[in-house]
Amino acid sequence: QQQVKQSPQSLIVQKGGISIINCAYENTAFDYFPWYQQFPGKGPALLIAIRPDVSEKKEGRFTISFNKSAKQFSLHIMDSQPGDSATYFCAAYVGRGAQKLVFGQGTRLTINP
């Protein structure tokens, strides 16, 4: 019930295309859903996050879509650029207290020029 399942494992998108990464969770107590971007040899960096009372959040080219009834959320990267090539992790946690982040398995995104 603590798992967050992420797909696909790897994704190749042409420059200018839309990259879509999906995640699903079981624990309905989760109330905060961040996405992290990680470049090789670096720690993850927070990209964008959403709470379950919102169905969509957009920041620049990055959009999170959230479906509470289906317990699914996804990251859309519009106009994907080679600089977006990285590993992306979805995550979830319960906001109250110092709760553990539960990570998805990660998606290695490659944007071809």
Partner 1 sequence: GAVVSQHPSRVICKSGTSVKIECRSLDFQATTMFWYRQFPKQSLMLMATSNEGSKATYEQGVEKDKFLINHASLTLSTLTVTSAHPEDSSFYICSARAQFNYGYTFGSGTRLTVV
Residues lying near partner 1 in the complex (CB under 8 A): 32, 34, 36, 41-46, 49, 89, 93, 95, 98, 100-101, 103-106, 108
* Tokens describing residue 47: 């990209």
Q: Shortest approach of partner 1 to residue 61 CB, angstroms? A: 20
Nearer to partner 1, 46 or 78 (CB): 46
Nearer to partner 1, 43 or 113 (CB): 43
DSSP 24-70: EE--TT--BEEEEEE-TTS--EEEEEE-TT-SEEEETTEEEEEETTT
Q: Shortest approach of partner 1 to residue 4 CB, angstroms? A: 10
Q: Give 86's contacts (C-beta < 8 A, 6+ positions apart).
A: 37, 38, 39, 109
Q: Shortest approach of partner 1 to residue 71 CB, angstroms? A: 19
